[in-house]
Structure 1
Amino acid sequence: MRRLALAVVLALPLSACGLHPMYAGGSGGAIAQGLTAVDVSEMPGRAGWLMRSALVDRLGSARRTGPARYRLDVRLDDKLEGLGLLSDDTVTRERRTLRARYQLVDLATGQIVLDETVGLDAGIDVVSSEYATVAAENTALENLTKEVSDRIVTRIALKLRALDAAGK
């Protein structure tokens, strides 16, 4: 009986902490519906194709039944640079950097709702096998694309939640 009373007393402060579930209502909730209403613009190059595919998957834009409410414009900057050098000027380490400047545009008003930049980098060991190095560079790009797209979708969800709260 004492344990139950203690559990109830300790649970009371948690109810007032101000945390609210982001995706309340599941796929029918306001945030999930807002994310599916985002149309992702085309992006050039392999990095652009990977980024657009990741964003469409994470936003759920393919499940949209009605017209888009927002457009997401993304400009990518993908750099690969050599870092470690041996005495014979052979590169032993590379860094792949992926930066994305993105804007969320309200299609009804043309207003930019969100304008931010996100970027990550990854280190790559350059080995004697050229095939292995190219494979590592490609894998780094794929992983960076997934991470950057996750961050973009999280920021969009936070912005949509703020807009939803302001509209109520």
Structure 2
Amino acid sequence: MRAFVLLLPLALAACGLQPLYSGGSSGPVGASLGEVEVAPIEGKSGWLVANALRDRLGAVEQRTPRYRLDIKLDDNIIGLAVRRDDSVARERRTLRARYQLVELGKGTVVLDATAGSDAGIDVVGSEYATIAGEASALERLSEILADKIVARVAIYARRNQATP
């Protein structure tokens, strides 16, 4: 067992895997993420997603923008389960984004993708509690969506080895 544990790092090094964020904020991926500006996004969900993206992209000092992230959101709540009195017992909130990474110098779209997530919400007797649950779900979905978008942009930056 001990020999296996000692040989595991050698086996992983031989497979060609490399850390995505090697070099930290001064590495090629970290530097590229610092050069992405987030265009304004409509609505409350847009405000939440934009702030979450800025938090993640702004982890390094802000540089002159080289890229712009344009995002269109689709936020839906649908009823899933119905009680005997025909009232909704459970809802599903979905937040989907179509995003484009635009290289500002050329004005070309270099990445065009989608991301999404969903959450279940219990509809309880208190209308206030249901509204609070919907708002909480939106906050969580915004964070998840921002993580997915930043990860995809980071993969693009890694593949293209953009230099600061």
Please give the TM-score of this superposition, normalised by the length of structure 1. Answer: 0.89
Q: Deviations over 1:127-166 (max 9, x none)?
A: 001111000000000000000110000000000000118x
Correspondences of 1:35-114 after superposition (within 5 Å): 35-60=33-58, 63-64=61-62, 66-114=63-111
Q: Secondary structure at the match of 2:19?
A: coil
Please give the TM-score of this superposition, normalised by the length of structure 2. Answer: 0.92
| Most deviating of 7-16 and 68-77 | 7-16
Does 2:13 correspond to 1:15?
yes
Letter in 1 for 2:69: L
| Cα distance, 1:33–1:9 mapped onto 2, change above 3 Å | closer
Q: Identity of paired residues, percent? A: 52
Matched with 1:29 is 27
Picking from 157, 160, 164, the partner of 2:161 is 164
Q: Does the 8 A contact of 1:37 with 1:61 survive in 2?
A: no
Q: Deviations over 1:5-49 (max 9, x none)?
A: 776655433221101111111111111010010000001110000
Note the aligned Cα RMSD (angstroms).
2.1
**Bigger relative CO (Cα 8 Å, ≥ 6 apart):** 2
Total equivalences in the alignment: 163
Q: Does the 8 A contact of 1:38 with 1:61 survive in 2?
A: no
**Residue ranges of structure 1 left out of the alignment (5+ in a row):** none
Picking from 139, 156, 160, the partner of 1:142 is 139
**Residue ranges of structure 2 left out of the alignment (5+ in a row):** none
Q: Secondary structure at the match of 2:49?
A: helix
